[in-house]
Structure formats: C-alpha cells, structure tokens
Structure 1
Amino acid sequence: MDTAHIPDLITPAVPFFVVSLIIEGWVAKRMKDSGRPLLGHTVKDTAASLSMGLGNLVVGIFWKGIAFAFYLALYQLTPLRMGSGVAAWVLLFFADDLCYYWFHRIHHEVRLFWASHVIHHSSEHYNLSTALRQTWTPMTGLPFWAPLALLGFHPAMIVTAQSISLLYQYWIHTEAIGRMGPLEWVLNTPSHHRAHHASNERYLDKNYGGILIIWDRLFGTFEPETERPVYGLTKNIHTFNPVRIAFHEYAAIIRDVRRPGPLRIRLSHIFRGPGWKRPEPEARPAPTPTPTPTLPA
C-alpha cells in the first residue's frame, strides 16, 4: 500500500506542537509569578511524553498503510456509498466522534485495550506535552472505525476525520484554560478532559468524548470538574523510561495470566476491567478438635 496518498494532518502540525508547548510554559511561569501556579512541566516528564509521541509517529509510518488498506477492503465490499458532499462530511463528523467515544470507553473498560491506552494516562502532570504521550500499539483501535467503511465512507475521509479529532484534542490538555461557558454543554473542553485524566474516584471512567461531550451526557459517563484533579493513574508507575511506559501493562497482564488458576480466571485478567482482581481462595475452616477422653477416677 502506497501511503503517499493517505491524508496526514498530524506530521505537518509538529511545528505548531513545539511552539505551543513553549508558549504554555511561558504562560505557566507567568501564572506562577502572579501567585496562581499550575502543575506545569518537568523536564523528565515532558521528555518522556515527547519520546512517546515520536515513537507513535514512527509506528504510524508502517501502521497507517495497513489500517488504510483494511478500511479500503471493507469499503470495496459494501455497496453503500456516502459520497463526499457537505452532507456526507457532516454525517461523518458525528459518526466519527461516536466511534471515538466507544473506542475510548472500551479502552478504559477492557484491560487488553487499556494496556494500549494507559500510556496516555501515565503522566502525573497535565499539559500540552501530555497530549503527545501516545501509544506505540495503535492496532487496538482498528475495529472501532470499521463500521464507517462498511457504511460507505471513503477511507481517505475516515482517516481525515480521525486526524481532525486528534488535532482538536491536543489543545484541551492544559490547565491554562478555565471553563468555557455554554460551550461546556456541547464540546469536550479542557475542564472536561482534566476530569478525565484525574485519578480522583469521582472522575474515574468519565468524559470519554473526542470533540463532543454529548455522548457522555447521553450514555451516563459525564462528570463535571468540581474538585481539584489529581493526575495520573490510581497506581502510578514512577518511570520516565519510554519502553516501560509503552509496555508495562502488557507485561503485567502476562504476569497475571501465568499465575496458576482456572482458565476463566486467566482470561479475566485480559478481558475484564483494569481494576479487576482475582478472588482470593476461601480459607478452609479449621477442623473441630476431637475432645480427649478422660479416664474415670
């Protein structure tokens, strides 16, 4: 598959990412000097996020052609054709965002998928560099946009819609922007996404939306930002090593699956939620001691 004709909006945006990171750092310093500190950046954490982003770009050079070929095969199988007019693009905007919602939600609710997505949540900081902390195993997302190809959307349109969604979500990874008034009802905003990245119990598994927040409101996964978010995982990994960040959860799954136990328990470590724990074996009741007979006096 020749990837030269596959739309790529991400690579040309890299200079913008760099400039915006510098501007955000400057804003954070100004806010700190004025007595309104942000969590800001640390050199090691930012470097780790940038390393994950660069790795994602490298993997994408090979993967995007495979994904495009898969969607193209599905597109050629279906007799449906949505065309490329304005109405098709409007419909695709909502359909793509709905696909992203379920992609994102499943990647939080099923451990196998979480192993790919946990990378994005592994930073204990929240800034624009966090947006670049992307997975090195994007293959888990392939099935979630397959329905769009089967509905007759051209793969080039699907890839373009995915890129637009990803670019939109870059700017919401910041503490420098507060609430945005009425837009909070419809759009995924920095406030909504701060809650999503928090490890506070009330925020866990909430606000999955990409561009729109309407799906969370519709499916009962919306939670407004009402208390200070504590960023990171419920059990942080405390490493800046990109390889460990990329694969630590896969390694943990393998360790759990290799532990002795029934097949259903081993499979549960893969397909249940990330927080699932295997039940502890029930303690056997202690045997009742046999009374010692006493001899007659």
Structure 2
Amino acid sequence: MEAYANALLYAIPFFIVLVLVEIAYGYFIKNQTHNVMDTISSLSSGLTNIIKDSLGLVIIIISYPYLLEHLALFKIEATWLVYVIAFIAIDFASYWNHRLSHKINFFWNQHVIHHSSEEFNLACALRQSISNLLGYFPILLIPAALIGVPHKVIVLLAPIHLFAQFWYHTKHIGKLGVFEYIIVTPSQHRVHHAINEEYIDKNLAAIFCVWDRLFGTFQEELDDVPPVYGVLKPAHTWNPILINFQHIWRLIKDAWRTNNWLDKLRIWFMPTGWRPKDVAKKFPITTVTEPYSLKKYNTNPSRFLIWWSISQLVATTLLMLFMFYNYANIEFNNLLLYGLIVFIGIYGYTSIMDKMKFAWVIEIVFSCLGLFVLYRTGSWFGLDAYSYFGNYIVALYFVSTIFGAIYFASKQFIKKP
C-alpha cells in the first residue's frame, strides 16, 4: 500500500493539471465542457476512492498469488513478452468485470458513480467507486494465473492499465481513424457514457476495443445521435459518497418491501434495473425516457459558494497529498482516522454544495474532530516535522470551515430534504 500511496503522490497532481488544461482549453475555444460544481464533485469522488484504495479497505475473496500458487501450469520469468501477455490478460479481465457491472444489479452499485456525471470530461474519469468492497477481480485473471504470469507483473501493470483509461474522457478529441479499430478512443467512450437508447451498455472495453467487436458490444458514435450523459436514474446530488450507495439503498428497500421471498433473493443478481413487480407498481421510480429533455442537476450556487467549494476541494487535496507523502510514518490506526476525517469533510462540503439541510452540522463535526486531533497530539499527523507553521495553517483551515458552515446555514443556503 505504501508503494501505491507514493504513486498517487505524483498521479494526483498530474491528473489535476490535465483537468485544468482541459478547462482552460474549453474556455479558450469557447466550448466549455465543465460545470464547476460537477467537476468539484468528480474530483472529490476521486479523493474518496484513493483514500479507500490506499488504506486497503476491501475484502479479498481470493487473491492472485493464491490462484498463481494453485493453478499455474508453468513457471515463467518476467520478460517483455510476459508483460505484454499480462497487459492483455488484465484488459480482457477488465472487459468482463465492466460488463458484469453493467448487467447485474448488485455489481452496478460499484460502477454507477463513474456514470453519474451529466457532463463528459477528464474530471468525470476520476469518479471512481468506494462501494466496491468485495475484491473478486483476481478471479477474472485465471487465464494469467494458468500460464504462470508472476504476481509482481500484475501489481506493476494494474495501476498503469487503470491510469491509461483517463485520457479518453473528453469531448475535445474527435474520431481517430484507424485507431478506432484498435484501441478505445474518446469517441467510443462518449458512446459508453451516454444514456441514449442506441448507446446504453455499449463499448465496455478499457484499452483494446477488440473485445467489444468480438463479443457484440461495440457501437460507433453516430453523427445524428449526440450523446446525452448521466444515468437513467439521475443522482441529483453533488455528494459522491451518497451517489456510491444510492443504487444499493434502492435494492435494499425493494428487497424489504416485496412480498415475494424469491424476489427478495434474486433482486441482487437480476439484470440492472430489474425490480419486483409488486414493488415497482406500488413504489414507482422516475427514470429518464427522453434523454434530450433531461434537465441537468443544478443547485444555482452563488459565486461565493462556488469559490468556497473550490477552496474546500483544494484544502482536502493538500491534506491527502500530505497523507501520501508521510504515509510510512503514520500508524495504520491513525491512517484510518485520517481517512475518516477527510471522508467526513468531503461529505460535509459536497452536502453544502447540494444546499442540504443540516449539512453545516457535518462540516462543524469535521472541523471539531480535526481540531481535537491537533489538540490531543500537538501535531497534524507529524506535520511539524516538515513545517513549523503547518499545524497553525491546518488549525486555521478547520476554524475557517466552521465559520463558513455557519455562514451558509445563517444565509439559509439550504433546501428542504
């Protein structure tokens, strides 16, 4: 996990810079693809994901080393050819994992966050899940285990494979000629994120589009069908933590409400969107049927709320970068505490972005918890070893957050639930 944290220390600034470049380019050509609050929500989602992943908060059903030990038919060295084979194996597994997430109710919950943005840009690429708590991906790597691909090769290539999916989340790149037949391109992925009937559940590949063409899930972007982005049951919130669990909460309620005991069990494994007939009739859920009439989520934020939200995102990102920089020196229990504090902070400021009632209380809890850590330990997780004024800056941030939360509450920048 320490190696992953060190990689994130460099990856996070790199991705943020690219997002800023895309924003600047959109402004320059007068074709902006970013909504400020949506972008903040996307980047905040990325922060929650890397907290969860860096802390290893997942239940591994079966590990790749275990499969390798018990299934390998050969023992091979890590040559360049093995790296190529391993990358293809990871991509093949990724396709089927992705397809599973789109087709099965339970697994859709771990992927819905990635599709929840009603925009399409580099920032939405960072909308990654915190609800994927079951580590079953190694099962899909059985082909690699059978031929004996070393574990260290998989560990090295997996994050590279993930990061390589970032660039094609953009509307500023058109079709790429012959590359459209080899790799996943922005045009193909725009189709994947669209809710148009022609595009739903298409283009599931991660790097090589050959899988979509081979298994019947490929769809070209059509000139006369502009993609409309989002999900058929719109999230209607900027809070990434809520988005992560909206779908499973609906499943839990449906399983509880249905009178059919078989439906209580099979709802989890039925196709995405399936509901018991008795529940669907009694508790209908509005879904998007006319994509071009979709009204995007908008809380009409004031200019001050926008800048306050940006400042919260920047501060949270800096807190995370320090966590990764000092990862090896923070005990695991303190890392969990650190992650919890940041989670509460993200939940708080994105709820204020939603103008939700009592959101200001969450921000005050977050700030008081941070100040309590400073008071009890005399340092923000060892920050004083790097900066004499660091703890004072962190304390000032928490205090200012309290005043900001009270300000928005007093101005009634809230909506009724």
What TM-score do the two structures reach when normalised by structure 2?
A: 0.62
1:5 and 1:237 map into 2 onto residues whose CA distance is: 34
Mapped partners of 1:237, 1:97: distance in 2: 29
**Conservation of the 8 A alpha-carbon contact between 1:93 and 1:161:** yes
Which residue pairs with 1:236 in the alignment? 234
Q: 1:224 to 1:9 in 2, by over 3 A?
A: farther
Match of 1:266 among 264, 267, 277: 264
Structure 2 residue 47 is matched with structure 1 residue 49: no
Q: Which residue of 1 aligns with 2:56?
A: 63
Q: Is 1:204 matched with 2:197?
A: no
Structure 2 counterpart of 1:105: 99
1:173 to 169, 172, 176: 169
Matching residue of 2:149:
153
Structure 1's 270 and 66: CA in aligned 2 closer, same or farther, altered over 3 A?
closer
State the secondary structure of the residue aligned to 2:267. helix
> Paired residue for 2:252?
254
User: Mapping of 1:1-297 within 5 angstroms?
Assistant: 3-4=1-2, 9-32=7-30, 37-38=31-32, 40-63=33-56, 70-79=63-72, 80-140=74-134, 142-143=136-137, 144-147=139-142, 148-226=144-222, 227-280=225-278
SS at structure 2 position matched to 1:169:
coil
Structure 1 residues 48 and 62: alpha-carbon distance in aligned structure 2, compared to 1, 3 A threshold: same
- C-alpha displacement at 1:61, in angstroms? 1.5
Query: What percentage of residue pairs aligned between the two structures are identical?
Result: 38
**Aligned AA for 1:82?**
I
Q: 1:81 to 1:146 in 2, by over 3 A?
A: same
The match for 1:293 is none
Cα RMSD, aligned residues only: 2.4
CA contact (8 A) 1:7 1:159 kept: no
Q: Could you tell me which amino acid in structure 2 is paired with residue 52 of structure 1?
A: S
Displacement of 1:27 in angstroms is 1.0
Does the Cα contact within 8 Å between 1:192 and 1:223 map onto a contact in 2? yes
| Deviation per residue, 1:66-96 (Å, 9 max, x gap) | 7599222322333433321112111112111
* Cα distance in 1 between the residues matched to 2:237 and 2:120: 16
Distance 1:5 1:167, change over 3 A: closer
**CA distance in structure 1 between the partners assigned to 2:257 and 2:69 by the alignment:** 45
Aligned mates of 2:117, 2:247 — CA distance in 1: 14
Kindly indicate whether the alpha-carbon contact (under 8 Å) linking 2:121 and 2:169 is maintained by their aligned counterparts in 1.
Answer: yes
How far apart in 2 are the matches of 1:109 and 1:77? 30
**Residues 96, 42 of structure 1: alpha-carbon distance in 2 compared, 3 angstrom cutoff:** same
Give the partner amino acid of 1:229: P
Q: In structure 2, do the counterparts of structure 1 residues 27 and 5 end up closer, same or farther at CA, with 3 Å as the change threshold? A: closer
2:246, 2:4 → 1: CA distance? 32
Q: Residues 141, 28 of structure 1: CA spacing in aligned structure 2 closer, same or farther, 3 A cutoff?
A: farther
Residues in 2 aligned to 1:216 and 1:7: alpha-carbon distance in whole angstroms: 33
> Structure 2: how far apart are the matches of 1:42 and 1:257?
36
Q: Which has the higher contact order (CA 8 A, sep 6+)?
A: 1
Q: Over alpha carbons, which structure has the higher Rg?
A: 1
Separation in 2, partners of 1:197, 1:138: 19
TM-score normalised according to structure 1 size: 0.85
